[in-house]
Amino acid sequence: MLYYLFDYLQEAYNFPGAGVFQYISFRSAMAVITSLFVSMVFGGKIINLIREKQIGEQIRELGLEGEKQKKGTPTMGGLIIIAAILIPTLLFTKLENIYIIIMIISTLWMGVIGFIDDYIKVYRKDKQGLAGRFKILGQVGLGIIVGLIMIFHPDITIKEKSEGPWEANWNSKNSPNPGDTISMNDYTDEFGFETESRKSSKTTIPFVKNNEFDYKILTNWMGDIAPIASMILFILIVILIITAVSNGANMTDGLDGLTTGTSAIIGATIAVFAYVSGNIIAADYLNIMYIPNTGELVIFIASFVGACVGFLWYNSYPAQVFMGDTGSLSLGGIIAVAAILIRKELLIPILCGIFLIENLSVILQVGYFKYTKKKYGQGKRIFKMAPLHHHFQKLGYNESKIVTRFWIVGIMLAILTIVTLKLR
């Protein structure tokens, strides 16, 4: 909203300083400051409100150190995170930008699913919360919405580098006289990108020199139904990524500040990728896919990072508030959708390595237990407890030490992810 106000002041009255709102860097900085302000200042008021409503955490008896002290700690703190993300987004972004619209939808969608889960746990005293199948159904629904918008919306496009020399014998239907010598400058901009944006099902593969992969390749053999099959495949991939990452964030949310800090690290990395992908000069220098209009995502992700850091003010050990599924499912959904929009979803196993290992630890633990119980009549475990952070608790590590070390690993993974821009 402020963007439009200052844009009007600039255009109509040449208002001094109004033009600074045209810069993504300035609006991103303002978004971080505003999200920090909202989460830190108003966060305390929201926590008091939650406490007055007696919305406290229901603790399952897991035999972990310090769990009894956490009983009754205010939960649903994810409402603080969501507010601290959406308020700066509404103030500083171009709200007609399709990428921003998708991110707002994703935030609210996953927030509602998480809120319902927390509501059932708190008010109905059901520790299991929302049934897993309904969570999955909600994640699938978001995946379908995001996938369909990406496929059909005309503003979701990319620009690719033109192939071949600047002067070439280019036999093409685009040529008025096939066989003539045509200057490639007629079809490219000053950076060598195609002048026209176009729809594409391409994404980015890490560690590969020509690091683009087209999902259509997987369905080309299907003949006439290949276009439809390609769309279905893409939507299924989007659903898988959103489900995996949001559940991974939810699994990681077991220690004070663990998911919040990890998400902030991941968000900062995504902001880097969103910036270079949406900036034609940076995309040209790094020789990566240029995705027009994704620069606005930097502002949204800046709000996301600020909200996470601000929430840590209250969520760090010992936590004064828990984010609940309202927060963890929202954080995971935001990360997944943002990565998909900037065509970096194949980097998620590296970037979201913490979420991945937490998910895998549960899958391996449950799978191995069922297998050994069926084969030997008695179930065995790989870890002392899953998810993985509880395994280290059982080994006697202090909660703060576990969280800090997980953050350090998250930073290392984030750096490795950024390095893939040049390491091919």
Average pLDDT, the chain: 86
Tokens of 129: 């919360």
Give the model confidence (pLDDT) of 336-348 as tens digits: 999 999 999 999 9
pLDDT of 184:
41
Report residue 65's pLDDT band, with 50, 70 and 90 as the boundaries: low
State yes or no: pLDDT of 179 exceeds 60.
no
Per the CB < 8 A criterion, the answer to whether 85 and 110 are in contact is no
Give the model confidence (pLDDT) of 370-413 as tens digits: 999 988 888 899 999 989 999 999 898 999 999 999 999 999 99
H or E stretch at 213 = strand 212-214
State yes or no: pLDDT of 278 exceeds 80.
yes
For residue 305, the number of C-alpha atoms closer than 13 Å in the C-beta half-sphere is: 22
C-alpha to C-alpha distance for 362 and 251, rounded to whole angstroms: 9
State yes or no: pLDDT of 366 exceeds 50.
yes
H or E stretch at 403 = helix 399-419
Tokens of 393: 């608790």
Range 9-14 average pLDDT: 82
Residue whose structure tokens are 């050990």: 317
pLDDT of 148:
96
Report residue 335's pLDDT band, with 50, 70 and 90 as the boundaries: very high
Range 313-331 average pLDDT: 91
- Identity of residue 128: Q
Report residue 327's pLDDT band, with 50, 70 and 90 as the boundaries: very high
Report residue 164's pLDDT band, with 50, 70 and 90 as the boundaries: very low
Per the CB < 8 A criterion, the answer to whether 159 and 128 are in contact is no
Give the model confidence (pLDDT) of 401-415 as tens digits: 999 999 999 999 999
Q: What one-character-per-residue DSSP string does 130-195 give?
A: S-HHHHHHHHHHHHHHHHHHHHH-TT--BB-BPPS-SEEE---TTSSSTTSEEEGGGTB-TTSBBS
Report phi then psi at 192, rounded to 5: 90, 5
Q: Which of 68-72, 91-95, 198-202 has the lowest average pLDDT?
A: 68-72
Per the CB < 8 A criterion, the answer to whether 389 and 258 are in contact is yes
What percent of the chain is predicted at pLDDT more than 70?
88
Better-predicted residue by pLDDT, 140 or 65: 140
Report residue 129's pLDDT band, with 50, 70 and 90 as the boundaries: confident
Report residue 334's pLDDT band, with 50, 70 and 90 as the boundaries: very high
In Å, what is the CA distance from 255 to each residue of 261, 262, 319, 374?
11, 12, 9, 33
Better-predicted residue by pLDDT, 76 or 69: 76
Better-predicted residue by pLDDT, 36 or 207: 36
